[in-house]
Amino acid sequence: MRAVCVIGLGLIGGSVLRAAVAAGRPGWGATTSAADAEAARADGYDVAESTEDALRRAAEQDALVVLAVPLTAVRDVLRLVAWHAPEVWLTDVVSVKDPVAAEVRSLVPGARYAGGHPMAGTATSGWDAGSAELFTGASWAVVVEEETTPEAWREAAALALDCGAQVVPTSAGLHDAAVARVSHLPHVFAAILAAVGSDGGALALSLAAGSFRDGTRVAGSPPDLVQAMTEGNRVALLDAVDDALGRLGAARGSLASSGSLKSTVEAGHAARTALTGLGAERRGRRQHAVDGTEALAELRELGDRGGRVVALEGTGATVEVPE
């Protein structure tokens, strides 16, 4: 199993290192956080003294480097990759893909890269918030672009599978548009909902129950991480915000004119029911090659239609698709 070098040992990076090691991979990490480094070492994990040391070791051992830093730190880390491990196997777990891919093309064109993004997390951060089980059963996007090689894609996908996730092949652009709606917009709504509730004063907060707490959970995330994530996906998020504002405007207009929210409530209920039903839908399995750019493109199309890779075998993959 290929060794893994994780740069950044917060919630996601720390969980990747834990899960990869639990799966039997050799692994080490690096972080600029003294607290996370100390905590990881105390838990028995190998933490390099510096990012440079970790990357040099990755180059020597032909390891897979995983960037697990905020989007705002990606450029600085990639400059170190370019200096110390310019042809390394490379993936990332950053929540937007187009900006990271652009930086990789610019700064480390020789890296064997395929971007990734696990759809899992909590409202807390840091090494102590992580878990080897964080990704179990989660969706993990692994990006296919024109320049993505089958070998690089398989390395990134294999890591996701070893961490217990299921792989969703997709393009960077479609990924960013999708997460703007199901991840980044919810963070914006959670912030607004929390602020509106707080404006209601002590009585409103004392009456806040499950729906308010569930709806505002991610507002407890570190603000700097939320800013980096949402602002880094600005164009796609603006489209999602415009869609939401249109629906809110229609709801307000209906409530003001007729006193009814029937259309809004029923549309939301239907969408939520469809989401809940995804876990119970019938899915068939098929084998698919992962041995060339055309095969990767076909795999990406399956991912965009709801398919996901559940296993890799040599140059092939087992794909589950909705029936």
Local confidence pLDDT in tens for the 323 residues of the chain: 899 999 999 999 999 999 999 999 999 999 999 999 999 999 999 999 999 999 999 999 999 999 999 999 999 999 999 999 999 999 999 999 999 999 999 999 999 999 999 999 887 889 999 999 999 999 999 999 999 999 999 999 999 999 999 999 999 999 999 999 999 999 999 999 999 999 999 999 999 999 999 999 999 998 998 999 999 999 999 999 999 999 999 999 999 999 999 999 999 999 999 988 887 778 899 999 999 989 999 999 999 999 999 999 988 999 999 88
CA distance 1 to 5: 13
Q: Which residues contact 95 (CB under 8 A, 6 or more apart)?
A: 71, 117, 179, 183, 184, 229, 232, 233
Q: What pLDDT score does 177 carry?
A: 97
Residue 63 DSSP code: P
Q: From CA 73, how far away is CA 80, in angstroms rounded?
A: 11
Give me the amino acid identity at 39. Answer: A
- DSSP label at 81? H
- What is residue 275's DSSP assignment? H
| CA–CA gap between residue 120 and residue 64 (Å, rounded) | 21
Inter-helix orientation angle 223-231/185-199, to 10°:
130
Neighbour count for residue 123 (Cβ, 10 Å): 14
pTM above 0.85, yes or no: yes
Measured CA to CA in angstroms, residue 218 lies from 106, 122, 183 at distances of: 33, 8, 10
Is the CB of residue 140 less than 8 Å from the CB of residue 116?
A: yes
Give me the pLDDT at residue 123, please.
76
pLDDT at 266: 96
Beta 4-7 vs 27-30: how paired, if at all? parallel
Distance CA 229, CA 307 (A): 26
Tokens 């006193």 sit on residue: 259
Look at residue 117 and give its three-state secondary structure. Answer: strand
In this prediction, residue 170 carries a pLDDT of: 96
pLDDT at residue 122, rounded to an integer: 81
Closest CA to 87 of 50, 117, 58, 116: 58
Partner residues linked to 117 by β-bridges: 141
Return all residues near 216 (Cβ < 8 A) that are at least 6 apart: 190, 193, 194, 197
Q: What is the pLDDT of residue 98?
A: 96
Looking at residue 24, what DSSP letter applies?
T
**DSSP conformation class of 181:** I
